[in-house]
Amino acid sequence: MLAAQYLVGAQPSQMTELEQRAAVISEAETWLGTPFHFSACVKGVGVACGPFLIACYAPYSKDSGRPLPNPPPFPKDWHCHTKEERFRAVVEAFCAEVDTPQPGDVALFRLGAPTRPFSHGALVIEWPNHLIHSMWRSGVERTTAYQLPLRPELAKFFSPWAFNP
């Protein structure tokens, strides 16, 4: 696993890509144990899966000059009543799709049927056995792509390091 303890005080523009990835993972680890709360984003208090991902990348997007998306409010069950790829569109505002995830990339999942839109995201530590995400029953936790309701065959991967606007 990547570690970022040696990066204390380093600015993202001074870091290599590998160091930036490690720093994003380190930030994600500081959220472990935060309860799930729909649409929230307060470390230690409550966070949903999308805002969690955005928070993990926030310090590094500021330095790159690429603003992170600020998704509009949406109902909890939005993914049950549409095929519109709302969550994917938010992720694609700062990430590009990649075939093979690296540490610090995003895994998006379709929950339920393969025809449903992507509605859950996790930060990849090591695919498919090590992810960090915020799930409605457990909050921010370490998991695998095999823990239900996740299904690795219904995942796609995105990386901010592959993004070229």
End-to-end CA separation in angstroms for the chain: 30
Cα(46)–Cα(129) distance, integer angstroms: 25
Position 7 in a domain:
no
Position 85 in a domain:
yes
CATH of the domain at 29: 3.90.1720.10
Expressed as residue numbers, the domain containing 41 is 14-68+81-162
Position 90 in a domain:
yes
Our count of domains for the chain comes to 1
Cα(54)–Cα(129) distance, integer angstroms: 22
The model's pTM is 0.85
- Residue-level pLDDT, tens digit, the chain, 165 residues: 333 333 344 555 678 889 889 999 999 999 999 999 988 889 999 999 999 999 998 877 665 666 676 766 676 666 656 677 888 998 998 899 999 999 999 999 998 778 888 889 999 999 999 999 999 889 999 999 999 889 999 899 999 999 886
Cα(22)–Cα(7) distance, integer angstroms: 9
Position 1 in a domain:
no
Cα(73)–Cα(71) distance, integer angstroms: 7
